[in-house]
């Protein structure tokens, strides 16, 4: 007999997990039903269900009513952040997200949900150098991958620079806001020389789960990115929510 120090539901979870990690149960494959687990391990369905719940919390398994639980597929899109990359894409007039996604053979899209002037939230105020609660322009967008929502991206812009510009209009800006910032005819007329990107990783809240269709056990990256111009002013703060089952991050850092 195996030493049964661990409770039954963990033993069941352990064995299923091994099958998944060795590839015996491939991504997309069906797990044994809770009833068959109940029989196989001589326990109740409640306990079998708890074992499956463990694997869902680990992000290895997804399930929904009426269907068999299945092994979750692995992440797909790489989000690549490098200085030269940004510069090249600015020149080409494509957004970073679109370029990355297309390079990986998928169909990107984005939708502008809302553009509004709002009191500045604290994490943004810190970075943008305005007072908390001061008015800022917020552009709220959702990025799509093959038609499915895949990122929520809110852009924040100082009113003193962007009031009355295309940033305030609920319409795509050709080449993105970065292009407008660097446009020699635009409201800023300065080059962006630096991005600072902060990643905080946590489990999503139910609102985020719903908005992004995140399955159980999938972490969320909250990415706060500020763009600084040559004069040192922060002209944009992006606040993104990125589900970690569909993305990996790559940063390229050159050392002087």
Contact yes or no for 85/250 (Cβ under 8 A): no
Within positions 53 to 92, which residues make up the interface with a copy of itself, using CB under 8 A?
57-60, 75, 81-84, 86-87
Question: Tokens in use for 251?
Answer: 């940063």
Cα–Cα–Cα angle for 112, 149, 81, rounded to 5 degrees: 80
Question: Tokens in use for 227?
Answer: 């763009």
Is 36 a binding residue for DNA by CB under 7 A? The answer is yes
Please enumerate in sequence order all residues whose Cβ is within 8 A of that of 134, keeping only pairs 6 or more positions apart, or say none: 119, 120, 125
Helix 83-92 with 96-103: angle, nearest 10 deg: 100
Minimum distance, C-beta of residue 3 to DNA, in the bound complex (Å)? 14
Which residue lies nearer to DNA by CB, 63 or 229?
63
Identified binder of DNA from the candidate list 16, 17, 25, 34, rule CB under 7 A = 34
Is 33 a binding residue for DNA by CB under 7 A? The answer is yes
Within positions 38 to 67, which residues make up the interface with DNA, using CB under 7 A?
43-47, 49-50, 52, 63-67
**Site residue total, DNA (CB under 7 A):** 24
> Furthest-apart CA pair in the chain: how many Å?
78
Is 152 a binding residue for DNA by CB under 7 A? The answer is no
Stretch that binds DNA, among 30-38, 76-84, 93-101, 193-201 (CB under 7 A): 30-38
| DSSP assigned state of 30 | B
- What is the spatial distance between Cα 69 and Cα 62, in angstroms, rounded to a whole number? 6
Minimum distance, C-beta of residue 169 to a copy of itself, in the bound complex (Å)? 26
- What is the spatial distance between Cα 207 and Cα 146, in angstroms, rounded to a whole number? 22
Burial class (CB in 10 A: 0-12, 13-18, 19+), 36: exposed
31 binds, among a copy of itself, DNA, none (CB under 5 to 8 A by kind): DNA
Do the bridges between strand 77-81 and strand 70-71 make them parallel or antiparallel, or are there none, so unpaired? unpaired
Is 29 a binding residue for DNA by CB under 7 A? The answer is no
Give residues in contact with a copy of itself (CB under 8 A).
Answer: 14, 17, 21, 57-60, 75, 81-84, 86-87, 191-206, 216-217, 219, 221, 244, 248-256
Give residues in contact with DNA (CB under 7 A).
Answer: 7-10, 31, 33-36, 43-47, 49-50, 52, 63-69
């Amino acid at each position: 007999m195996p030493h049964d120090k661990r409770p039954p539901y963990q033993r069941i979870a352990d064995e299923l997990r091994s099958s998944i990690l060795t590839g015996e149960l491939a991504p997309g494959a069906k797990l044994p039903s809770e009833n068959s687990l109940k029989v196989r391990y001589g326990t109740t369905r409640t306990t079998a269900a708890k074992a499956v719940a463990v694997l869902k919390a680990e992000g290895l398994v997804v399930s929904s009513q009426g269907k068999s639980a299945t092994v979750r597929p692995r992440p797909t899109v790489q989000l690549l952040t490098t200085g030269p990359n940004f510069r090249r894409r600015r020149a080409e007039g494509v957004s970073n997200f679109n370029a990355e996604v297309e390079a990986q053979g998928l169909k990107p899209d984005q939708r502008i949900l809302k553009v509004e002037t709002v009191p500045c939230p604290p994490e943004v105020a810190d970075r943008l150098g305005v007072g908390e609660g001061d008015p800022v322009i917020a552009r709220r967008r959702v990025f799509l991958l093959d038609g499915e929502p895949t990122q929520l991206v809110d852009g924040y812009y100082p009113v003193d620079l962007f009031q009355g510009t295309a940033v305030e209009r609920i319409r795509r800006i050709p080449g993105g806001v970065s292009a407008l910032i660097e446009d020699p005819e635009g409201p800023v007329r300065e080059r962006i020389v630096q991005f600072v990107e902060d990643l905080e990783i946590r489990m999503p809240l139910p609102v985020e789960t719903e908005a992004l269709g995140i399955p159980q056990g999938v972490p969320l990256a909250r990415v706060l990115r500020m763009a600084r111009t040559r004069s040192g002013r922060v002209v944009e703060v992006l606040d993104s929510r990125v589900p970690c089952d569909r993305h990996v991050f790559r940063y390229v850092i050159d050392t002087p």
